[in-house]
Structure 1
């Protein structure tokens, strides 16, 4: 059975990284990747967030709301009919007339610290019936029966940035601004932060509200014929909500083949559309030196690009979409490999 495959490696061939590596890429040989990019049809990519790209690549009518999608993967008790918000612990650092947000992932928050702060928050806001749900040390959720009028900014966009222009907006904005202010006072005197100050560690002195939304049936495309392969909570949640098959991120093309081998079992139905996101690769890109990035490209050539090229040649894949963080996406069918007039180009021309 032929398969349709989407391989997404966010930021791998980012334009700035490629520009910086011009000299090194000039003589680097990755024949499979070069062939795939040379033979493919190319489609321009407009700037999108991770969540917008994920929803688009998985053919959803619009971007699935972030909090509710992630909560469906991270929480044991989850109500898809509620309105959901992420209310994540952060540090706010005063900087002249503004506050700069430091995300929880940079604060090394322990489970004990996270639960202690959440408990204090819930006790303080009990009269408002605002009760946070703990998912992990860095991620908390708020579930509300009825939708509220609030528009927020994703926490990823604000990491290490001023928050002055990005406080929640909408009819409920004043309440949420007050909640943030009260939380800062509440957390400042908490034993967790007193201990952190004594150790010289960054404080966990606020929260950020973001990712609002509710699942709407007319904005959700059910895909029982598809699978998602990723470790990212948003993509796992997307699989849950769209009734798609879910697998962890595979380490290689062969590992992916092993994953889908069981899809032909009776009762699974026909699953022939596969969305693979190598989010563990994307997560480490910012910290890689040039030589490490070049080594990574060579590993991906061996583990992914060369096997994908061979699968196209053998008609085992009849549609391949590559999104590698460039300004375009590359799409191939087996017949595209017959474009003899399209020659491989040096990687520094990317």
Structure 2
């Protein structure tokens, strides 16, 4: 998907589900319904949201390449970090035995305190100092690992692994056995650490492993990145610092800011997070927030402040809106119909 010129790209994974059922009181979404009904639909491959955000920013990669989100997110979480070298996400996880396999768990419920995170990070760095590995934790739940050189691995993002067997999602590459020896050593180190002894005594899941993914070197900014980025994800903050553009949080009004930008990139990830957490109430709140954002943007489109809008739910389809398409009143459609088409593809959400 190409960038908008004097336009807005809205990336909103999770917008069209899949949900197991449609809530009886689905929030009203008149703007989204209009866009989904009258917009021009283009079809492509389903993409990971990270791929979609980087491509909209102007950093392109092939579908089989893991985008270097590690160093970009670290830039977003800690702009003072030394970003030289090869950086990876290295998020703390709980590995739980289940019959003859290990399941991977992560998320807010497992997030350590800042003191716990720092204690585990310090133990790691002391243990692996001779291997020239460096682990940092700018936030309690998001950690990053610098390795001496590219490990030559194709990794899987943590959000695709949560609750799944570890063996089915191991990295691929000629140095996999060497990498797995390192990860096994990390498991033994963390398992014996006093932080996890306290967790176990209090009935909390132990943080007994790391999930490394999204590695690479910090890329150079593209020639013409979006001048405005909106969202709370560290990837958005990192990209704004990489490209020198303005970054605004997901909350609050943005109409005037969008109108003054040459092009803008919006990443609304609340729906995506709600689906991962299996929280239907949070999904509906995220939908209300997205509708409010789209109403602001729609007003600029109607006022001739924007030339186009791209709506990308990362499911293989993208909706394009222009002022002329707004007038196609005979085109019908809407979010409920799209949700119904994808219903019952996952187990029921809580809510």
Q: TM-score, with normalisation over the residues of structure 2?
A: 0.83
Aligned counterparts of 2:39 and 2:30: Cα–Cα separation in 1: 14
Change (3 A) 1:275 1:202: same
Partner residue, 1:272: 262
Alignment of 1:188 with 2:191, yes or no, is yes
Q: More displaced, 192-201 or 239-248?
A: 239-248
Structure 1 spans left out of the alignment, 5+ residues: 264-270
Change (3 A) 1:200 1:156: same
Aligned counterparts of 2:288 and 2:126: Cα–Cα separation in 1: 53
Structure 2 spans left out of the alignment, 5+ residues: 339-351
Aligned counterparts of 2:157 and 2:113: Cα–Cα separation in 1: 23
Alignment of 1:77 with 2:65, yes or no, is no
Larger Rg computed on CA atoms: 1
Aligned counterparts of 1:179 and 1:110: Cα–Cα separation in 2: 25
Give the conservation status (yes or no) of the 8 Å contact 2:93–2:104: yes
Q: The residue matched to 2:250 in structure 1 has which SS? A: coil
Change (3 A) 1:308 1:120: closer
1:57 Cα shift? 2.7
Q: Once the two structures are superposed, what CA deviation does each residue of 1:173-221 show, in whole Å capped at 9, x if it has no partner?
A: 222211111112112221111111111111111112221112344xx52
Partner residue, 1:165: 168
Alignment of 1:56 with 2:63, yes or no, is no
Q: The residue matched to 1:20 in structure 2 has which SS? A: coil
Aligned counterparts of 2:128 and 2:334: Cα–Cα separation in 1: 59
1:91 Cα shift? 1.0
Partner residue, 2:301: 312
Give the conservation status (yes or no) of the 8 Å contact 2:274–2:280: no
Aligned counterparts of 2:285 and 2:233: Cα–Cα separation in 1: 24
Partner residue, 1:268: none
Q: TM-score, with normalisation over the residues of structure 1?
A: 0.83
Q: The residue matched to 2:136 in structure 1 has which SS? A: strand
CA RMSD of aligned residues (A): 2.8
Q: 1:13 aligns with which of 4, 11, 16?
A: 16
Aligned counterparts of 2:44 and 2:121: Cα–Cα separation in 1: 40
1:248 Cα shift? 1.8
1:11 Cα shift? 0.7
